[in-house]
Amino acid sequence: MAYFLQALVFLVQTLFGLYLIALVLRFLLQILRADFHSPIARVLVTVTNPPLRPLRRLIPGYGGIDWALLVLTLLVQLLELILIGLLLAGQIPPLSGLLIVALGRLLRLVIYIFMFVIIIQVVLSWVNPHAYNAATRLIYNLSEPLLQPVRRLLPALGGIDLSPLVVIIGLNLLLILLAAPILDYGYSISGPAAGWR
């Protein structure tokens, strides 16, 4: 039975994790004003539109931010935590702890996405620096807003661009100093019901 439960938790985490990545990527692409004509962006829109359309009728966008998308992302994260809490601890963790853990996990996911995208861009610049397709355009749209300001401050040394290294160090510091304390605080509030820790 423990193996079945472990497999079920893995399945819930995987399915919700993939959907959360799609939601967060869509939000980041909207915020960064990326090109939504690429096939990857169209897939993100197709996958995330069904629950988003009705929610947009209730929650309008404001200030250039798609608030319905943010609420949907938070709700999906909360639902994942509730399901895992029910599976592992047999109860729903306290709402205050759930909200804090959900926010911490979403922040951590955003940081991981940026780190992954920057690493992919660095690898692509070594392997095929002049490649241009939908995937490389998406990677460029996500990574350049972080890399560009660092490049202005830190010139290339001997033709080597150190901005990805600096940004990844900064993102790791955010994980340690911001995301980890938020998660730890949320877990401490949740007490023994935090089976999803």
Mean pLDDT for the chain overall = 90
pLDDT at 197 > cutoff 70: no
Q: In this structure, are residues 20 and 79 in contact, taking their beta carbons and an 8 Å threshold? A: no
Nearest to 169 by CA among 150, 144, 184, 156: 150
1 pLDDT tier (thresholds 50, 70, 90) = low
Nearest CA among 108, 123, 118 for reference residue 167 = 118
pLDDT tier at 108, thresholds 50, 70, 90? very high
The answer to whether residues 118 and 147 touch, using CB atoms and an 8 Å cutoff, is: yes
> 10 Å Cβ neighbour count for 173?
11
Residue 109: pLDDT band (50, 70, 90) is very high
